[in-house]
Amino acid sequence: MSDFTNPVEPFLRTDRMPHIWCPGCGIGTTVNCFARALIESKIDLESLALVSGIGCTGRVAGYVKLDSFHTTHGRAIPFATGLKLANPKLNVVVYSGDGDLSAIGGNHLIHAARRNIDLKVICVNNLIYAMTGGQTAPTTPSHAITSTSPYGSCEPAFNLPHLVEAAGAVYVARWTTFHVRQLARSIAEAFNKKGFSFIEVISPCPTLFQRRNKLGDGLDTMKYYKEKSKVKHGAPTSEVGMTMTGEIIVGKFVDRDRPDYQTMARAQLAESLGDRFVEQAEMVCS
């Protein structure tokens, strides 16, 4: 029997299957890549915590067999910030959607990047609010039909890699759910990075985005990702903005080093307080 166990199964709460995601949805694919990255990086699962916000991707927290927190809409990053600061030994992953992270949670996204909090953020970008029925998001490409832009969206979309690079992230990559190996590798790479890492995963929502925009089903979207993606490591993030059906620039855009928040805080306090500075003890107050 064990010969037939899927290698990612130990990372999942199999008692919660089947999951809620639609056929053709890319979120499950990203979870698979995440699990493979955990295997590859041999990370200690007991010190790994995962925090999600609200939305389809927000449900990831409920399916992984880790200390996992399904928080409020937009607030996964500040929750994760508290978790990381209270217990710096934890590896903290934020796993959420584009609407959650960049609209309602946009303020926290840029400030966590600015502070360089040591968090790994995986942002599954399906270009809409999917859980609530496919409404316009800050990431929706111009002219796209959504349930709240029935005549086409008139707003320009956020270019998330550009946003988080400008705010201070030390690692920024983008892949699509077609690029499963590259995505797993990027996640594993982010685990070796200290500081604010951001990985955007472009993912289909066949039920609500592709269907309304007559872009086919999940498989058609894979073909689109395959044909229109161009790997450009180190591409200037100002040039990686997306359009409805145009080229998708993918790759590792940013990989730089600067001290993370806790390193900076400790240095500042030690310098100013000298002998009076007391290192934060383990906070477990049981």
Partner 1 sequence: MKADPRGVLTGVHFLDGDHACCEGALAAGARFAAGYPITPSTEVVERFAARVPTVGGTFIQMEDELAASITLQGAVWGGAKAFTVTSGPGFSLMMEHIGYAAMTETPCVFVDVQRGGPSTGLPTLPAQADMMQARWGSHGDYEIIALCPNSPQECFDLTIKAFNLAEEFRVPVMFMMDEVVGHMTEKVVIPPADQIEVVPRRHTRKPLGEYLPYQTNGDMVPEIAHAGEGYKFHITGLTHDERGYPNMTPQVQDKLVRRLQNKIRNAADRIALYEEENLQDAEVVVVSYGITSRVAQRAIEMARAKKLPVGKLRLITAWPFPETKIRELSAYVKAFVVPELNLGQMVHEVERAAAGKARTFAVPHAGGSVHHPEDILKAIVEASR
- Interface ranges with partner 1 (CB under 8 A): 13, 16, 45-47, 49, 51, 61-62, 65-72, 74-75, 78-87, 89-90, 107-108, 111, 265, 269, 273, 276-286
**Given the complex with partner 1, which of 74 and 195 has the nearer CB atom?**
74
**Given the complex with partner 1, which of 102 and 182 has the nearer CB atom?**
102
**Given the complex with partner 1, which of 95 and 175 has the nearer CB atom?**
95
If we measure between CA atoms, which residue out of 242, 171, 218, 188 comes closest to residue 28? 218
**Given the complex with partner 1, which of 154 and 281 has the nearer CB atom?**
281
Minimum CB distance to partner 1, residue 107 (Å): 5
Q: What is the dihedral of CA 121, 122, 125, 130, to 10 degrees?
A: -100
Burial, 148: exposed, middle or buried (Cβ in 10 Å; 0-12, 13-18, 19+)? Answer: middle
**Given the complex with partner 1, which of 61 and 235 has the nearer CB atom?**
61
Minimum CB distance to partner 1, residue 70 (Å): 4
Minimum CB distance to partner 1, residue 65 (Å): 5
Q: Distance between terminal CA atoms of the chain?
A: 41
If we measure between CA atoms, which residue out of 64, 63, 207, 75 comes closest to residue 129? 207
Coil/strand/helix, residue 272: helix
Minimum CB distance to partner 1, residue 62 (Å): 6
Residue 264 tokens read as 């900076």
Minimum CB distance to partner 1, residue 216 (Å): 32
